[in-house]
Structure formats: structure tokens, C-alpha cells
Amino acid sequence: MNAAARVLVVDDSATMRGLITAVLRSDPEVDVVGQAGDAMEARAAIKALNPDVVTLDIEMPNMNGLDFLEKIMTLRPMPVIMVSTMTHRGADATLAALEIGAFDCVGKPSPGEPHPFGDLAEKVKAAARSQRQYVKPVAERAPPAPAVADFRVGRKIVAIGSSTGGVEALINVLQKFPANCPPTVITQHMPPTFTRSFAERLNRLCAPVVEEATDGARLAIGKIYLAPGGERHLRIANSSAPHCRLVEGAPVNGHRPSVDVLFDSVAELAGRNAVGVILTGMGRDGAAGLLKMRHAGARTIGQNEKTCVVYGMPRVAHELGAVEHQFPLNAIGEEILKITAARKEGSE
């Protein structure tokens, strides 16, 4: 049996610290070794207790969570899970934290929520096991030049699924795309209020147009559609004029939206005229759907273990035989473009 994950809980609210601690201590594989109310207390506690993981409130007095996170990643890189308000402002701050190097994020519960911080213990355990490589934050910059000179897009649709670590991974992949990239649909596991901010962030950083998917949005060259978090799944419909559908349904593999739901629809709609990509993430969502895509003739790519924050979803997909080839993260964007480029004698 592995040793329990040792956690330091950092939040300026004693009530919130108590709630997080109670949730984590309900899992016998998690050991809350200490609490801190601000960055100064947290710094001393990290030195004294040497935790495996820190949960960190974004909004704190004296030094906010983002500034403290940057210091952690500079001086003592370690897994940090951000705790954020479920607001647009909270979403922007959380996305910045994920780019700085935070392992994952959880939203603060609303009053009366029956299962607050439902999967926090699982995230803490995954963080403690993680062997991620900490990186410098992604700078705000102009979109890079296309990875493939004079790219001419073919007729394929690209479908991407990701979860823990997906913010950094998606930025890495999509910044390789030229402005005339193939139509691309993405399901990233993320709290409901965060996906719009993430789509806006990607749109600023990438050459193509990136937007949160809306029901009925027609797939177009040069556009990337991110599934909104929350109540509905993203599917692709209508083979003659492919468009996004946001559909009601129970969570699949514990997620809504689910990568499997998206991949299933792409397998049915596009068959061999699709590329499926599964990136870093906890669990197994997307593995079965990617296998359906491969059986339908699609090309399929998985992120390799070494470059994953969590080698969960790509591992299961690889073990099922759903992944045609595994690549390091830095190579995936260019590989997608190679597959989706029009052939010299004409479009695919």
C-alpha cells in the first residue's frame, strides 16, 4: 500500500480550511499535515512539514495565491491545487495559475451544496503521484508562425479530449495551428464558469479563432470549438453540414461534458475523415470513444507518458488499442497538421 498523500491546506478562511480538511480526511489515503491562513504561514509550513501537495486559495491577504504560486514554482516546485471562486474573475485567475504550473483547480462550493469538493481527494492523490515537469508560464504573445509552411487544409475534422494538465497541453498544441487550421472540437474537463474564459484565453494566444461551442455552430476551417462546462455534452451532427450540438444527458465516466460522447459522435459522423487526440488527464474518459474512432478509420494520437501531467486517459486509450501513435506533447500539433493537410493532388 502506498503512503498517504501529505497535504497542506492554505486558505484565509478558517471555515474553508476546516471544510477542505474534513473532505480530505474522509479519504484514508490522504493525510492533512497542516493548515495555513496566508502566504507567510504557508511558507513556514512548507519548510517545516515538507508536504507532497498544497491546496491554495487564490484570493488571500498580504500576498495573493498567484504571487505565492509563482514563488513556489521558482523556489520549490511542487504540486499545487488551486481553490477558486466559481466566477469569471476566479476563472481568469485560475487559468493564469494553471499556466504558471498549478496541477489542477477546484471551485469553492456554493451554500448548501451536498458534496462540496467532490473529487478533491482524488486530485490530491493524483498530484502526489505525479512526476510532472514544471514549466515557466506561457507568455502573452502574438500567434506563432504556422508549423507547416503554406499549409493547405484538407477535409478532416480534429477532435481533442483532455483533463488534468490540459490547459498547458492545449495551449502547446493549438499554438502550432495556422489560422486556416482544420475544424477542431475539444472537450476539456473544467468547471462550468471556466470554459468561456479559457476559450477567450486560447483565442488571444492562437492564430485560429477559438470560441466556446454553441448549439448549432457550424464547423468551419480556421475555427476551434471548446465544449462549455456544466450541464450538457458536446456532440457533432449532420454529415453534410457538420455542426455542434449541445445535448442533455447524465455524466459519462463522471464527466459532463464527456470526451467519450464527443469522440463517439465524431466516429459516427466523420469516420476516416477525422483525427482523434487524447491528452493528459485523470481517469479513462475518451479511451472507448477514441477506440470507436480508430475502428471507424480515423487517425488517432495519444500524448506519451513522459510529457503528461497525469498519464491516465492516454494510458487507458493506449492499453485498449485506441491509440495509433503516441507522441511527446511538443510534437502533437505538428503531427495533426501533417495528417490533416490537403494532398498535393487535391484535398483528401
Catalytic center residues: 163, 189, 285
Point out which residues pair with 8 in neighbouring strands: 34, 54
Q: Indicate the SS3 state at residue 247.
A: strand
The contacts of residue 57 (CB under 8 Å, 6+ apart) are: 10, 11, 12, 13, 16, 65, 82, 83
* CA distance linking residue 3 with residue 53, whole number of Å: 13
Q: Could you tell me the strand order of the sheet in which 104-107 lies?
A: 30-36, 5-10, 53-57, 80-84, 104-107
Q: What is the DSSP string of 265-320?
A: HHHHHHTTSEEEEE-SBSS-TTHHHHHHHHHTT-EEEEE-GGG-SSBSHHHHHHHH
* CA distance linking residue 239 with residue 231, whole number of Å: 25
Q: Indicate the SS3 state at residue 246.
A: strand
Point out which residues pair with 284 in neighbouring strands: none
Point out which residues pair with 274 in neighbouring strands: 157
Rounded to 5, what percent of the chain is helix, strand, coil? 35, 20, 45
The contacts of residue 197 (CB under 8 Å, 6+ apart) are: 88, 91, 92, 95
- Three cell numbers written together for 83: 481553490
The β-bridge relationship of strands 157-162 and 184-188 is parallel
